[in-house]
Chain A
Amino acid sequence: MTRTPRAVTIVGASLAGLNAAEALRREGFDGPVTLIGAETHLPYDRPPLSKQVLAGDWEPERAALTDPEELEEDGIEARLGVRATALDLDARQLALHTGETVEFDGLVIATGARCRTMPGTEGIGGVHVLRSLDDCLALRADFEAMPQRVVVVGAGFIGAEVAATARGRGLDVTMVEALPTPLSRVLGDEMGEVCAEVHRDHGVDLRTAVGVESISGDGRVERVTLSDGSTIDADVVVVGIGVIPNTEWLDGSGLEVDDGVVCDASCLAADRVTAAGDVARWPNELFGETMRVEHWDNAAQQGAHAARRLLDAAAGPFTPVPWFWSDQYDRKIQLAGRVHGDDEVRVVTGSVDERRFAAIYGRAGRIVGVLGFNRPRHVMRYRALIEQGASFDEALAAEY
């Protein structure tokens, strides 16, 4: 019979895991809470890693999400630099990379995701991905050496932010994107093109509809060869081609894994086991769609929800309107909702030419998304309409 856990172990010490731990205490849980993290750093915030920290405007300490005193005050035990390697649900035990076995009662899985890499680039200096603080500091050191040319592979949001930060440092940037229009699968062609223009206007050499054949160099990267046969000289390459959820350690655990840990609508994966953040896949009843969301806001909210669900079976379904922001140059781009490339798109306020506007996305008569360029107020207004399940017509008629 299911019951409330007497102790909670959280695997993954980033935003979702930390929010889960803090939510347990907020909800009055007074049993032991243990946070296990593979990185040696205390939990830190990732958004500044592609912006302020990479730009050199912030020292890494400023991205800290907590400190030892705060953790102690909240009675949260952090075990850092320790990776979970296996889960035994029957024995309710975790295996750690140290060879140790630890018992758990309640469990939150928040192991996040890792960057996809380009095969064949292992061991070539100057080829980076950007996910962790260590990734960021390594890339920052390469930026500080004033390279002649930076090549960004992938014009998604991470690639776009890295390109913007590199341009801000005065570096030459070429960005390579396999799709004809960057972000077209996420924003549609029209809005993807607006994002592309922002980069061109800031001097990025944007190459679209072309893949990367190879990244090569003698010990250190020298060139990127594209699928059309052309080459680009490069001293630094940043690969931003998506992430893979960290679920391998759950193989054989009996938990269902399908591009993430499969949960029910309340984020429950098994008896007294929940999942949250980039690693969790769950049916979002608001959209009638199963999703895995890689946004900051989702990690924070889902972490808290996963904790509440452990304490209370009546915590209910997790039904957020996914939302994220991306700062590039002097633009704040925000997207809320669940957008597909073929949704109907209408600009509802501002001017696309001035890159200060909001556009809403409709599908099957409903408003399903809103995109803002320097329009945070409007994004949040329309986000509320999405949450209410408003019709597209209603949203078009709204005045904010």
Chain B
Amino acid sequence: MRIVVDFDLCESNAVCMQIAPDIFEVRDDDFLYILNETPGEADRARVEECVQRCPKQAISIAED
């Protein structure tokens, strides 16, 4: 799976960072950085939780 973030929608609320700090990081510049764009299947449940709980629905998973 590949993580896709729509940065036009992202407001850096950092909800994803709390769920998966090893994958998402909001830095001091208030922007979101994806630390690991292609996490393994073991991380799927957490990434799906990020997708569901993002207040801006800015995260999606691409299967490619």
* A interface with B by C-beta (< 8 Å): 19, 22, 47, 65, 296-297, 300-301, 304, 323, 325, 327, 332, 334, 374, 376-377, 379-381, 383-384
Contact with B18, one of A22, A332, A380 (Cβ below 8 angstroms): A380
- Shortest CB-to-CB span from A378 to chain B, Å, is 9
Q: Are B53 and A376 in contact (CB under 8 A)?
A: no
Give the residue among B27, B53, B55 with the most A Cβ atoms within 10 A. Answer: B55
- Shortest CB-to-CB span from B4 to chain A, Å, is 18
> Looking across the interface, which residue of chain A has its beta carbon closest to that of B27?
A377
Q: Are A380 and B15 in contact (CB under 8 A)?
A: yes
Q: How many A-B residue pairs have CB under 8 A?
A: 44
Q: What are 6 of the A-B contact pairs (CB < 8 Å)?
A: A47-B55, A297-B53, A297-B55, A376-B12, A377-B14, A383-B18
Q: Interface of chain B, helix or strand or loop or mixed? A: loop
B43 CB within 8 Å of chain A:
no
Q: Are A327 and B26 in contact (CB under 8 A)?
A: no
Interface size on B, residues (CB 8 A): 16
- Shortest CB-to-CB span from B51 to chain A, Å, is 11
Q: Are A379 and B14 in contact (CB under 8 A)?
A: yes
Give the residue among A297, A301, A376 with the most B Cβ atoms within 10 A. Answer: A376
Contact with A327, one of B11, B18, B28 (Cβ below 8 angstroms): B11
Q: Are A377 and B13 in contact (CB under 8 A)?
A: no
B17 CB within 8 Å of chain A:
yes
* Distance, CA A332 to CA B55, complexed state (A): 13
B22 CB within 8 Å of chain A:
no
Extra pairs beyond A297-B15, A325-B55, A381-B18 (6, CB < 8 Å): A296-B55, A297-B55, A332-B12, A376-B14, A379-B14, A384-B18
